[in-house]
Structure 1
Amino acid sequence: MDALLTSFFNFDVYRQVLPFLLTGLLTTIGLSALVIPLGVISGLGVALLGTQIEKRWVRIAVAAYVDFFRALPPLVLLIFIYFGVPFLGIDLPKLLAVALGFMLNNSSYYGEVFRAGILSVPRGQMEAARSTGLSHLQALAYVIIPQASRNVLPDLVSNSIEVVKLTTIASVVALPELLRVARDAQSLLYNPSPIVLAAIIYLAILWPLVRWLSRLEHKNLRAR
């Protein structure tokens, strides 16, 4: 038992590494604040292309895009962008490479969520909006998209939680997010306690969001 506490729940190590882990946490929060909006906006664009444009080749291209980036492991995508793109003569900064990789990956998932939300809005809503004099784009912006977003809000929140957890892969390009800092501290102290503390920090941050998500899901079930 003492060996377990010393190796994984060493409070002396926690005290030493906490300031460093908090700097990594700030990077994680900043990265999440960047990639989640990028994913939401690009995902909405993907969903609109797939649902509002009638041309068959556009819908096939959107479906292929979504399937490809949902099937491709995000870690592989990030490694390819950061280490592979420079061979084309383009040297991407770490943050830009991570943001681009996350945008491509997340847009496919958010796109499917928004597509389901848009298709859940009755067709009559568009016709009613157009009858009031709104253009097609105005009807989408003021009527369809707000309703679609409400219908799939739990899925959007769930996906965003997964994105926060996925930011840990940014460590492969040496971006000093929370897990990267914890791993560096572990290698310096020869003790896995920093990794456990990082997990505790993630739990403390994400637990309220998980509980909120649970309430949203129950609220949606009661509404149905």
Structure 2
Amino acid sequence: MNEIMEFIPQALEGLKVTIGIFSITLILSIPLGVVIALGRISKIKILKSITGIYVLILRGTPLLLQILFIFFGLPLININIPRFPAAILAMVLNYGAYFGEIFRAGILSIDKGQFEGAEVLGLSKKDTFFRIVLPQALKRVFPPVANEVVTLVKDTSLIYVVGLDELLKIAKIASNRLSSIMPFVVVAVFYLVFNGILTKLLETMEKKFDYYQ
């Protein structure tokens, strides 16, 4: 028990890294997802093709492989990215593709009459999108977005492959040192608490979208 108590401060340090990766990825990938969604529904064929290929590659290959490619593969062509930015880049690109498809589905679900009504009122395409379409689309896609956000928390454990001291790596080192599985149990509790708090927060946010009904 004393050894486990000594491990908790180390786990807290790992939690800081995990939360940092999670927060930065979420902040950057959601706007990227909106951009990708707009590209996917664009009438410009080349833009639609590029974003389509992007989504196909990023959704069709494992996130772990993408992290390895960016950190270990890019240096082969003289592109060296430090550990933390490499992990962030891989996760943002990956989740940007998933969020893009979610937002695309939400935008396409908006009735055509909404666009026609906005045009009659003289609204620009920009105002139509940000004031009318996007708020309604966000309401509809919030549940799948929330699900991806929770998944993101767990996917942060994959960054151990680039040597960052996140929760899973610290637990593995401690487990080898103590010859015990208890560090993994402690880390599992950390993940559960973090996800529990996050889920409650997302539920509260979802209720605030009710005024769009």
**1:109 corresponding residue in structure 2:** 98
**1:7 corresponding residue in structure 2:** none
1:165 aligns with 2:154: yes
SS of structure 2 residue aligned to 1:82: helix
For structure 1, the residue ranges without an aligned partner over 5 or more in a row are 1-10
Amino acid at match of 1:32: F
Amino acid at match of 2:154: K
1:49 aligns with 2:39: yes
CA distance in 1, matches of 2:164, 2:11: 13
**1:72 corresponding residue in structure 2:** 61
Amino acid at match of 1:66: V
Q: Work out which of the residue numbers 16, 29, 34 in structure 2 matches 1:26.
A: 16
SS of structure 2 residue aligned to 1:152: helix
- Give TM-score, length-normalised by structure 2: 0.90
Deviations 1:183-223 (A, max 9, x none): 121122222211111011101111244466679999x9xx9
Q: Work out which of the residue numbers 89, 96, 105 in structure 2 matches 1:100.
A: 89
**2:129 corresponding residue in structure 1:** 140
Provide the identity percentage.
33
CA distance in 2, matches of 1:215, 1:35: 21
Q: Work out which of the residue numbers 29, 45, 49 in structure 2 matches 1:39.
A: 29
Q: Which moved more, 1:57-66 or 1:190-199?
A: 57-66
CA distance in 2, matches of 1:92, 1:212: 34
Q: Work out which of the residue numbers 71, 88, 102 in structure 2 matches 1:82.
A: 71
Amino acid at match of 2:137: A
- Give TM-score, length-normalised by structure 1: 0.86
For structure 2, the residue ranges without an aligned partner over 5 or more in a row are none
CA distance in 2, matches of 1:19, 1:80: 32
CA distance in 2, matches of 1:129, 1:95: 44
Query: How many Å apart are 1:23 and its aligned residue?
Result: 0.8
Q: Contact (CA 8 Å) 1:44, 1:111: kept in 2 or not?
A: yes
